[in-house]
Amino acid sequence: MISFEEFKEKFRLTDEQFETAGVTWEDLSIIYRNYEDRKPNLEKILDSFMSDYFSYPTIRNQGLRIHSIRSRVKDGEHLIDKIVRRKNKNALKYDNCNTTNYLKFITDAIGIRILLVYKTDWEIIHDYIVNTIEHNEKNYVRDCLRDFDEDENHTYISEAPKVHVRKGDRTDIYEHILPPDKVISDRVYRSVHYIVKYKGIYVEIQVRTLFEEGWGEVDHSILYPTNTDNPLYKEYTLLLNRLSGLADEMSSFFISLRNLNVQKENIDHKDESNSGDQEIEMRQVNKETKAEHGSVTYSDAVSDFIIE
């Protein structure tokens, strides 16, 4: 494990932040070592979760339009960095987080990211998740310790699904499904979040598009960990963020345009089919009429044969 000074430099943390967090380097070192010992089991839990819910046969059979899936078990150093930052940001919620219960507070030790080509495909994924995994508001965790379910065999969604969007983004695809307070527009990144309790561990599922993922990768590589306060870099990554949002909107537009064309082609085909049926019926009437009067000619018979 790196030293305290190396850790502060790597994650750009100050002594004041540690003081505000009320956590010692000794405690963080204990958490780190304990977590590293548990990681092999967390990897097995991740593999089991993927097999249960997002195996290739499941994706195919459920008709989930997924481009690709990324998954990981959180790095130990990033875990303790998150504890420090969360204790700074929300001291009341994380005040009782300690060396023995930290995984009751951390909801993304196991993370899964589902990547879509089109933003509108999210609704299919959402329906699959909330209808396959137990989803009941009574299971929502409001107090990390009091509401933690010790039953490792109980799998359920532990928080209300929510989406982060940028201000000005299209939100109608979310608003008819998620409550208004779960469509959050105070972030620069875009992603839909689900927290699932599985085998005693929280698993975070994020759903986003390839464009959103691309921007996130560039943003992370440029800004973290040393350039988060650089105004020039932040300006350019925000510009890239807006461009990725526009690309998603254009993709959704093309899908809508394609669907309209398909509908039009179906209507045209139906009209042509009806017109053909009507012509055949008219020829049949003429045929019967001619037969009654003994006036069916060779050309009539050939014409009828070709139509039929």
Q: Give backbone dihedrals phi and psi of 122, rounded to 5 degrees, phi first.
A: -60, -40
Q: Are 112 and 71 in contact (CB under 8 A)?
A: yes
pLDDT digits (tens, 9 = 90+) for 209-238: 988 887 777 776 776 655 666 777 777 777
pLDDT of residue 282: 54
Does the structure show a pLDDT above 50 at 306?
no
CA–CA gap between residue 192 and residue 164 (Å, rounded) = 6
The pLDDT mean for the chain works out to 84
C-alpha dihedral (125, 126, 127, 132), degrees to nearest 10: 90
pLDDT of residue 299: 38
- Residue among 111, 38, 19, 129 at smallest CA distance from 76: 38
pLDDT digits (tens, 9 = 90+) for 27-42: 999 999 999 999 999 9
Q: Look at phi and psi of residue 168 and say left if phi exceeds 0, alpha if psi is from -120 to 50, else beta.
A: left
**Structural domain spans, the chain:** 4-229, 230-308
Give the global pTM. 0.78
Q: What are the distances in angstroms from CA 154 to CA 52, 62, 197, 291?
A: 14, 23, 7, 77
pLDDT of residue 298: 31
| 4-229 has CATH 3.30.460.10 classification | yes
Q: What is the number of other CB atoms lying within 10 angstroms of the CB of residue 112?
A: 21
Q: Could you tell me the sign of the dihedral formed by the alpha carbons of 225, 192, 162, 138, in that order?
A: negative
Does the structure show a pLDDT above 80 at 88?
yes
pLDDT of residue 275: 60
Q: Are 70 and 115 in contact (CB under 8 A)?
A: yes
Does the structure show a pLDDT above 90 at 287?
no
* β 162-164/191-198 pair status: antiparallel
Q: Which range has the worst mean pLDDT, 59-63, 74-78, 162-166, 268-272?
A: 268-272
Using H for helix, E for strand and C for coil, what is the string for 217-259? Answer: HHHHHHHCCCCCCCHHHHHHHHHHHHHHHHHHHHHHHHHHHHH
pLDDT of residue 253: 73
Q: Residues 82-100: what's their mean pLDDT?
A: 91
- Residue among 1, 50, 9, 53 at smallest CA distance from 28: 1
